[in-house]
């Protein structure tokens, strides 16, 4: 062997899901998928690799850090292969929404409305931080081609159904609409710097009204400081009056918001108010309990492409976690491919990594090292076949059953394996039992064992498991 | 808008799964997952991005074409960012086996045996061809840390169970062991060129015995032609006698193989024969019908890392498709990380893209545009809420139910949507019905409709669906 030893290291900003985490992820994904399908959403799958122009829209202001790829053959030196830039254009996607817009534009025969869900890896080149990865998994569901506010409400209804399906007892879906925010930005004369204005407003949870006030007041530090909003005291007072509506009940929020908007007679804000009113009415009619949702005028969501309602889901038991499930309306996302098409879109995305942390921290999914329900041991080589047949019978009855395949064939090692893996039941088929048509069934947690008729095995195991 | 229009094109060698394909993929994945879990396998997930050295083992002979990545910020020129080679080392994985070896080496506390399944995208830089993609999905299941031949048999048993779970009526799992092949290579003096020898043998289906003979006889075209085997007539005759055992029954194959190996008294081949004998016995004891498996001495499988039994699954109804489910034993794959560790491994991989083609061509999964069972129409804005409540009731009863959200609110457009999407049932809640506590239920295929009591809706729909 002339090869040097390689360190089994992973790439910075990526992470491995070992079984305990992967089992949670799998259960989580399956439940979200079931909810999506119950609402009539269909799956699609698109590649991780997309063209650079598709991802960036050739926008000169695009400022995300992306993973571009190049094909390198064999063991060639990794740094000097510009000549092999065979697919210089291909780049790892940073979300699932832009690829969706590509799909909508590339396949005009897709139905409208098009309701799809998709899960997959997305990649961002930003510096990794605690809980922020360069490669992570998203689960998105979106409705394309519906301008109806019922579509926005359906997304909130799905968010609610998902949180319930995951067994989360305390959560609040907070929503707002960019139209009210756009209106406020117009009222306080920030329309040209709306992005910065929204960014500040959105930090209400983190920095409070005082922090927001300070940020909005901030004067430019030099001539190039385009982000300073430098709001006047009168303007600040208006923003504060809007934000003071946070935490009121729905009826009161809508009433007071209506009064504020009347005063300013801003038409954009007025349209937004109507949206919030209709959404609230539909949510009430759908009997989604008020404790699980709230209008929150500070919710802006960072992504540039939102155009109407925006939503997020926070867990009062984990206030610092941020939103685990968020989204909004993004009309016009296909415009980069089909100028003027203005196709409507609204959807949400589950932050799977964050949700896994939440479910584990709140102990909502019991931690599991295994999905195996029964381990069948192999007593000796002669009984290997009989044990394998027994295991297969249990499987066919829907019981997850493992046969012991370790190289240490001592019965003690087999039992230790079951104990370490927290497999609840062990079946031992020894020569004596085999002869008498019996099997030993060990209940690992109860530290009990009994002799069961070979022919009754399936029935007995099924009853002890249920 | 100064931005130019972007074409909604995908990267060469990648493909989109639109709903009809994605639904097949989803069902396929779910069934394979269920089989894996029934055998006590746990999921893991690893990143698409791995270190170059991890993937290639720093092997100077490594000759695959891989996608290397570099992080590029914003809209900077794509070709001049060598300086930004922030993670020059990160490369897209080409399979799920090498990452598994990394996991085994990096986390010594994982149980042994470790039985894991994993599904995910893999990436290869080779020129795309019909049915061969640069980015595609694999589903792997492997047993790590078991030298027992029962582990090899369990993998074959799982392959059989998966094919049955997918409803494939005709398939053959062909298996062999590298040890018999290594033995034959020694007997015909090809040990140093075993890789080329296996590559030729493995083409039996494609080029027949005549083609193999020609390839084995081939003389070097020049002094650098290291791949020419130039077998003598006597050596060819030996290979032909081995390959003549293809297509015989298991007992006859084993008997004649035994006789051939006795003659040559090659110890490696002898060990291989014992493996094939034990595997056949266990498969017979497990009552896996003989029609679904066969020893085939031409099966070699291309990958270098196989060390023992190798398996593949072919569909007699689609002889040109190649194997849809294949694998083998690959002891020692962790050696690049832990020299001398020689950890045992055996597993198989479902070629999802190929399997989707097979299931669709053989019409084994009914094509579906949607998973929706009922469309609830919205008769007019006043009845929107009542319709949404009705839809929610159906969902809560486990019926996949869509509410119509299209912008064309004419009832005719709603019915057309259901027809185009092949949604089997439509419910119409008009003002008259609403007043009388009734709902109209349309059976789209039967072109029938009936009035159903609002309170009986769930029961009636459940019974017509079953």
**Residue B382's domain is classified under what CATH number?**
3.40.50.800
Same domain for B431 and B323, yes or no, is: no
- Average pLDDT, integer, range B29-49: 97
B335 neighbors B304 (Cβ within 8 angstroms) = no
Same domain for B37 and B67, yes or no, is: yes
User: Known binder of ligand: residue B96?
Assistant: yes
Q: Which pLDDT score is estimated for B257? A: 95
Task: Flag whether pLDDT at B65 surpasses 50.
Answer: yes
- Average pLDDT, integer, range A436-460: 95
Cα–Cα distance between B342 and B335 in angstroms, integer? 6
Task: Flag whether pLDDT at A183 surpasses 90.
Answer: yes
B124 neighbors B65 (Cβ within 8 angstroms) = yes
Same domain for A248 and A112, yes or no, is: yes
Closest residue, chain B, to A46 (C-alpha)? B16
pLDDT digits (tens, 9 = 90+) for B375-401: 999 999 999 999 999 999 999 999 999
Same domain for A283 and A430, yes or no, is: no
In a domain, A253, yes or no: yes
B204 neighbors B245 (Cβ within 8 angstroms) = no
Per-residue exposure over B402-419, b if at least 16 CB sit within 10 Å of its own CB, e if not: bbbbbeebeeeebbebbe
Contact yes or no for A42 and B19 at CB 8 A? yes
In a domain, B119, yes or no: yes
DSSP state of A305: T
Mean pLDDT (chain A) is 92
The neighbouring-strand residues paired with A442 are A426, A449
The neighbouring-strand residues paired with B218 are none
Q: Which pLDDT score is estimated for A83? A: 42
In a domain, A366, yes or no: no
B381: exposed, middle or buried (C-beta count within 10 Å: 0-12, 13-18, 19+)? exposed
Q: Which domain holds residue A440?
A: 374-461
Of A19, A110, A147, the CB nearest to B407: A147
- Average pLDDT, integer, range B144-159: 96
Cα–Cα distance between B71 and A380 in angstroms, integer? 56
Banded pLDDT at B128 (limits 50, 70, 90) = confident
Cα–Cα distance between A129 and B448 in angstroms, integer? 59
Of B55, B284, B28, nearest in space to B156 by CA? B284
A439 neighbors A433 (Cβ within 8 angstroms) = yes
Same domain for A38 and A176, yes or no, is: yes
Contact yes or no for B401 and A282 at CB 8 A? no
Measured in angstroms, the CA of B297 and the nearest CA of chain A are apart by 25
Of B14, B74, B405, the CB nearest to A63: B74
Q: Token match 């390839």: residue? A: B215
Domains in chain A, number: 2
pTM for the structure as a whole: 0.92
Of A314, A440, A48, A181, nearest in space to B47 by CA? A48
A26 neighbors B34 (Cβ within 8 angstroms) = no
What does the DSSP assignment read for A126-155? SPPBTTB-SEEEEEEEEEES---HHHHHHH
Per-residue tokens: A410: 């001592």
Task: Flag whether pLDDT at B32 surpasses 80.
Answer: yes
DSSP state of A121: E
Helix B233-243, helix B178-187: angle, nearest 10: 160
Task: Flag whether pLDDT at B140 surpasses 80.
Answer: yes
Angle CA(A294)–CA(A297)–CA(A299) in degrees, nearest 5? Answer: 85
Same domain for B294 and B326, yes or no, is: yes
Angle CA(A241)–CA(A244)–CA(A247) in degrees, nearest 5? Answer: 155
Of A8, A44, A71, the CB nearest to B18: A44
Q: Which of A116-120, B14-18, B202-206 has the lowest mean pLDDT?
A: B202-206
pLDDT digits (tens, 9 = 90+) for B282-295: 999 999 999 999 99
The A residues from 362 to 421 touching B (CB cutoff 8 Å) are 369-372, 375, 378, 384-385, 388-389, 392, 395, 398-403, 405-407, 417, 420-421
In a domain, B3, yes or no: no
DSSP state of A10: B
E strand or H helix at A393: helix A384-396
Banded pLDDT at B83 (limits 50, 70, 90) = very low
Same domain for A319 and A431, yes or no, is: no
Angle CA(A454)–CA(A460)–CA(A461) in degrees, nearest 5? Answer: 100
- B291 Cα distance to chain centroid: 22
Q: Which pLDDT score is estimated for B33? A: 97
Map residue A293 onto helix, strand or coil.
strand
Measured in angstroms, the CA of A387 and the nearest CA of chain B are apart by 10
In a domain, A410, yes or no: yes
ipTM of the complex: 0.92
Measured in angstroms, the CA of B267 and the nearest CA of chain A are apart by 23
Same domain for B328 and B419, yes or no, is: no
Measured in angstroms, the CA of B44 and the nearest CA of chain A are apart by 5
Q: Which of B361, B387, B406 is the last residue of a domain?
A: B361
**Could you tell me what percent of chain A has a pLDDT over 90?**
77
Proportion of chain A in helix, strand, coil states, percent, rounded to 5: 40, 20, 40
Same domain for B114 and B230, yes or no, is: yes
A344 in contact with B, Cβ within 8 Å: yes
In a domain, A209, yes or no: no
In a domain, A199, yes or no: no
pLDDT digits (tens, 9 = 90+) for A78-91: 444 444 443 458 99
What is the DSSP pairing of strand B114-123 with strand B172-177? unpaired
CA distances to A193, A328, B164, B342 from B152, in Å: 64, 50, 19, 17
Q: Which has more pLDDT, B278 or B409?
A: B278
The neighbouring-strand residues paired with A370 are none
CA distances to A234, A354, B311 from A349, in Å: 38, 12, 40
Cα–Cα distance between B175 and B278 in angstroms, integer? 13
DSSP state of A17: B
Which of A5, A40, A74 should we substitute to test contact with B (largest number of B Cβ atoms within 10 Å)? Answer: A40
Contacts 24+ apart (CB under 8 A), A405-410: A405/B113, A405/B115, A405/B143, A405/B146, A405/B148, A405/B150, A405/B151, A405/B154, A406/B112, A406/B113, A406/B145, A406/B146, A407/B112, A407/B113, A407/B145, A407/B146, A407/B147, A407/B148, A407/B344, A409/A378, A409/A380
Same domain for A344 and A378, yes or no, is: no
Q: Which of B302, B334, B361 is the last residue of a domain?
A: B361
What is the DSSP pairing of strand B293-295 with strand A448-453? unpaired
- How many inter-chain contacts (A to B, CB under 8 Å) are there? 412
Same domain for A423 and A294, yes or no, is: no
In a domain, B434, yes or no: yes
Same domain for B264 and B339, yes or no, is: yes
A337 in contact with B, Cβ within 8 Å: yes
- Average pLDDT, integer, range A433-462: 95
Closest residue, chain B, to A137 (C-alpha)? B47
Task: Flag whether pLDDT at A170 surpasses 90.
Answer: yes
The neighbouring-strand residues paired with B69 are A69
- Average pLDDT, integer, range A179-206: 90
Per-residue tokens: A340: 């003027």
Of A39, A151, A370, the CB nearest to B40: A370
In sequence order, what are the residues at sequence separation of 6 or more whose Cβ sits closer than 8 angstroms to the Cβ of residue B429?
A: B376, B377, B379, B383, B386, B387, B390, B439, B440
B25 neighbors B137 (Cβ within 8 angstroms) = yes
Closest residue, chain B, to A122 (C-alpha)? B48
Measured in angstroms, the CA of B466 and the nearest CA of chain A are apart by 17
Of B51, B336, B406, the CB nearest to A9: B51
Highest mean pLDDT among A77-91, A212-226, A306-320: A306-320
User: Known binder of ligand: residue B301?
Assistant: yes
Residue A141: CATH number of its domain: 3.30.930.10
Q: Which of B333, B361, B389 is the last residue of a domain?
A: B361
């Amino acid at each position: 062997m002339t090869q040097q030893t390689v360190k089994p290291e992973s790439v910075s900003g990526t992470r491995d899901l070992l079984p305990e985490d992967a089992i949670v992820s799998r259960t989580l994904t399956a439940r979200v998928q079931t909810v999506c399908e119950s609402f009539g959403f269909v799956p699609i799958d698109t590649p991780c690799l997309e063209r650079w122009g598709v991802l960036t829209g050739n926008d000169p202001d695009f400022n995300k850090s992306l993973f571009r790829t190049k094909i390198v053959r064999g063991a060639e030196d990794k740094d000097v292969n510009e000549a092999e830039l065979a697919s210089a254009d291909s780049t790892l996607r940073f979300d699932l929404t832009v690829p969706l817009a590509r799909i909508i534009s590339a396949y005009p025969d897709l139905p409208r409305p098009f309701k799809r869900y998709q899960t997959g890896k997305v990649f961002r080149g930003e510096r990794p931080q605690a809980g922020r990865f360069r490669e992570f998994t998203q689960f998105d569901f979106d409705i394309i081609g519906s301008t109806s506010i019922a579509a926005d409400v359906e997304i909130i209804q799905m968010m609610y159904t998902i949180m319930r399906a995951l067994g989360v007892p305390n959560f609040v879906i907070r929503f707002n609409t960019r139209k009210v925010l756009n209106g406020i930005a117009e009222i306080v004369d920030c329309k040209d710097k709306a992005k910065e204005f929204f960014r500040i407003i959105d930090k209400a949870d983190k920095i409070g009204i005082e922090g927001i006030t300070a940020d909005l007041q901030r004067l430019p530090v030099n001539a190039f400081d385009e982000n300073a909003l430098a709001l006047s005291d009168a303007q600040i007072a208006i923003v504060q009056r809007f934000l003071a509506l946070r935490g009121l009940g729905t009826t009161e929020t809508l009433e007071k918001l209506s009064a504020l908007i009347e005063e300013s007679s801003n038409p954009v804000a007025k349209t937004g108010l109507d949206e919030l009113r209709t959404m609230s009415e539909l949510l009430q009619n759908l009997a989604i309990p008020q404790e699980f949702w709230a209008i929150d005028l500070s919710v802006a969501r960072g992504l540039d492409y939102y155009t109407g309602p925006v939503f997020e889901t926070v867990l009062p038991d984990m206030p610092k976690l941020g939103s685990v499930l968020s989204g909004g309306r993004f009309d016009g996302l296909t415009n980069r491919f089909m100028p003027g098409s203005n196709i409507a879109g609204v959807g949400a995305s589950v932050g799977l990594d964050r949700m896994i942390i939440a479910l584990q921290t709140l102990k909502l999914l019991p931690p599991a090292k295994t999905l195996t329900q029964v381990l069948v041991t192999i007593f000796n080589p002669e009984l290997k076949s009989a044990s394998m047949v027994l295991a297969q019978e249990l499987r066919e009855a829907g019981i997850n059953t493992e046969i012991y395949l370790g190289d240490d064939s001592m019965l003690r090692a087999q039992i230790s394996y079951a104990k370490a893996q927290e497999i609840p039941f062990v079946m031992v088929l020894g020569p004596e039992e085999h002869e008498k048509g019996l099997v030993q069934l060990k209940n690992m947690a109860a530290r009990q064992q009994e002799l069961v008729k070979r022919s009754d095995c399936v029935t007995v195991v099924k009853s002890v498991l249920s």
